Structure 1
Amino acid sequence: MALRETWAAYEEAWSESDPGRRATILRLTLDATFVYSDPVTRTESQDALSRYIGELQQTVPGLRIVTTSFAEHHDACLVGWTLQDGNSNAVARGVTCGERDGNGLLKKATVFYDLPHGSP
């Protein structure tokens, strides 16, 4: 699977509210030792990331990620994105540096973001 396709499936997991389906998507796109880090949290497994996504969905109903830019080389990507709520309001904007392993699965995502002015 091309890195762009892997990334699109990973983004889909962030919108999936069913924990079982989300876990399946993550197993198909992430290495078992996947590390996710953002300014407030760090997870070190598919299951831990799935739990974090579920918690975030409770805070941001209808959560979805919209890619605004995508660049890649040498099994790495830099992705610009907007995190939206169920009403398509921007909740956060940021970039993610992603890396994949030799099997085509994502092994790391390092996230940087800013909250829009006036956000909590």
Structure 2
Amino acid sequence: MNHSLNLTWETYTASWKAATAAEKYALFAQSLDPQCVYNDPQAATHGWQELTAYMDAFHQQVPGGHFQTKTFSTHHQQSLATWNMLDGKDQVIGEGTSYGQYNGDGKLVAMTGFFAAA
């Protein structure tokens, strides 16, 4: 496993739990390319501002919601992670899989989530 990509992934994952845009942007600076794209069954975003807005909408629906990586594998600047979605009380409320693509600097340029949409 590429530990630097795993650290990048976990830093990105932590941004979903961050309470403020400033906290998110600090984590994004460590883990995401500014032009990153994010896709899942419910949304498609481009760049940090759109991703932050989507994360804020997620927190409106699931206060304190965040993600916990269960498995992580990587090769050739790509990763596959399985995860649990947790609510603000750390109860598992969903699960899914995400595919990541990384640039030469080890930052995420694309994140694609797969889960059963409500």
Query: What TM-score do the two structures reach when normalised by structure 1?
Result: 0.91
Unpaired runs of 5+ in structure 2?
none
Q: In the TM superposition, what is the alpha-carbon distance from 1:27 to its structure 2 partner?
A: 2.3
Q: CA RMSD in A?
A: 1.3
Unpaired runs of 5+ in structure 1?
none
1:29 maps to amino acid: S
What are the residue-to-residue correspondences of 1:30-69 with 2, within 5 Å?
30-69=32-71
Q: In the TM superposition, what is the alpha-carbon distance from 1:12 to its structure 2 partner?
A: 0.6
Cα distance in 2 for partners of 1:92, 1:33 equals 28
Q: In the TM superposition, what is the alpha-carbon distance from 1:29 to its structure 2 partner?
A: 0.9
Cα distance in 2 for partners of 1:15, 1:78 equals 20
Identity of aligned residues (%): 28
Within the alignment, does 1:112 sit opposite 2:114 as a pair? yes
Query: What TM-score do the two structures reach when normalised by structure 2?
Result: 0.92
Moved over 6 A (4+): none
Q: Which moved more, 1:84-93 or 1:36-45?
A: 84-93
Equivalent residue, structure 1, for 2:72: 70
Cα distance in 2 for partners of 1:45, 1:58 equals 20
